[in-house]
Structure 1
Amino acid sequence: MRKGIHPESYRFVIFKDMSNGVTFLGRSTAHTKETIVWEDGNEYPVIKLEISNTSHPFYTGKNVLVDTAGRIDKFKKRYAKK
């Protein structure tokens, strides 16, 4: 692995899956303004995810319909005329 190409400012953050509400603690360099109190009583920055391994059909084995920002409604409106 080459030295000096990876960030050194990794910090603990909470990842929150917005489709099912599952949260997990990990490390990231992504910046966020929101924080949340974790199970250990400490406050961590929170990064919101639209889909994660807890809701993705590949990992769950189920076909789950995730409607992000009304994409399905937009699709139905667009093709309802035909």
Structure 2
Amino acid sequence: MKDGIHPAYGPVVFRDRGAGFAFLTRSTMTSDKTIEWEDGNTYPVVDVEISSQSHPFYTGKSRVVDTAGRVERFERRYGSRGKR
């Protein structure tokens, strides 16, 4: 490999705060935030919104998304234009 053209590749903790799940792996991602891991070492931590512990495909549970607010907002903006 050529020197200086590849990003640094090292251990990083990915944390899914919604599911309370974190895992240590290697990645080129970086972060200013750090976390002390189970082995006593400190690693950069990257917060993610969805992981295998919270994604409906892996859990078999569907999440209810609040679309009522979006529908009501749409009706307020555009609902009266189509009525005659």
Shorter-chain TM-score: what band? 0.7 to 0.9
Rounded to whole Å, the distance in 2 between the matches of 1:52 and 1:66 is 17
Following TM superposition, where does structure 1 have runs of at least 4 consecutive aligned residues deviating by more than 6 angstroms?
Answer: none
Aligned pair count reads 75
Q: Radius of gyration: which is bigger?
A: 2
Aligned-pair RMSD on alpha carbons? 2.6
Match for 1:78 among 60, 69, 73? 73
TM-score by length of 2: 0.71
> Residue 55 of structure 1 aligns to a residue in which SS?
coil
Gaps of 5+ in 1: none
Deviation, structure 1 residue 19 = 1.7
Deviation, structure 1 residue 60 = 0.5
- % same residue: 45
Gaps of 5+ in 2: 80-84
TM-score by length of 1: 0.72
The 1:25/1:65 distance shift into structure 2, 3 A limit, reads: farther
> Within 5 Å, which residues of 2 pair with 1:1-82?
7=6, 9-65=8-64, 75=70, 78-79=73-74, 81=76, 82=79
The 1:61/1:33 distance shift into structure 2, 3 A limit, reads: same
The 1:75/1:26 distance shift into structure 2, 3 A limit, reads: same
**AA partner of residue 35 (structure 2):** I
